[in-house]
Copies of this chain bind each other. A is one copy, B any other.
Amino acid sequence: MEKGLTLWFTGLSGAGKTTLNAAVCGRLSDAGFRVESLDGDEVRRHLSHGLGFSKEDRDENIRRIGYVAGLLTKHGVICLVSAISPYRAVRDEVRRSIGEFVEIYVNAPVETCEQRDVKGLYRKARSGALRGFTGVDDPYEPPAAPEVECFTDRETVNQSVDKIMEYLESRLPCQSIAVHS
């Protein structure tokens, strides 16, 4: 049975997780891999209606995404997950349970994310209209040893994607993948 893989994009809101996920997804799909992109917001709607943003609820949400990613990975799919997933322990728990797991730290300073503020959430968080927002009044624990780290404040999207694809060459032995677009 062909081996799958989970690519887990973690980082602050606005760091660029969804952008990199979509770009890597496109490259892998073009290279003939079976891919599935799971976006944190969408998955939360499908699997975690009723859960909030306490540590406990966030962790439960991540476990559910991890369960689904694990099933897809088991069946040969490359599953790309974007989720803030601020707590290290539960990310590591998901890593252990899936096995074939690549952690991609989408790293940008909170100031940069806040300037972008694509969804207007930082503004809401700063005004107090939104409580428990990661990076503002809720913690983010960076990965201790991510397989790939992208610095989206000083790399172009293509540079970050190339870095991820280069790493994947060592993890996806069955097919050759075009690293440079």
Residues of A within 8 A of B (CB): 1, 34, 36, 46-47, 49-51, 60, 63-64, 67-68, 71-72, 74-77
Q: How many copies does the complex hold?
A: 2
Smallest CB gap from A69: residue in B:
B71
Are B1 and A36 in contact, with the CB atoms below 8 A? no
Smallest CB gap from A64: residue in B:
B47
Q: Which B residues are in CB contact (< 8 Å) with A76?
A: 34, 75
Q: Which B residues are in CB contact (< 8 Å) with A46?
A: 63-64, 67
Known pairs A47-B47, A49-B60, A68-B68; list 18 more (Cβ under 8 Å).
A1-B34, A34-B75, A34-B76, A36-B74, A36-B75, A46-B64, A46-B67, A47-B64, A47-B67, A50-B50, A50-B51, A50-B60, A68-B71, A72-B72, A72-B75, A75-B75, A75-B76, A75-B77
Q: Which B residues are in CB contact (< 8 Å) with A77?
A: 75
**Which 4 A-B residue pairs are closest in the complex by CB-CB distance?**
A46-B67, A75-B77, A47-B64, A68-B68
Question: How far, in angstroms, from A46 to B71 measured CA to CA in the complex?
Answer: 12
Question: How far, in angstroms, from A64 to B46 measured CA to CA in the complex?
Answer: 6
Q: Which B residues are in CB contact (< 8 Å) with A34?
A: 1, 75-76
Q: Could you list some 21 contacts between A and B, CB below 8 A?
A: A1-B34, A34-B75, A36-B71, A36-B74, A36-B75, A46-B63, A46-B64, A46-B67, A47-B47, A47-B64, A49-B60, A50-B50, A50-B51, A50-B60, A68-B68, A71-B71, A71-B72, A72-B72, A75-B75, A75-B76, A75-B77
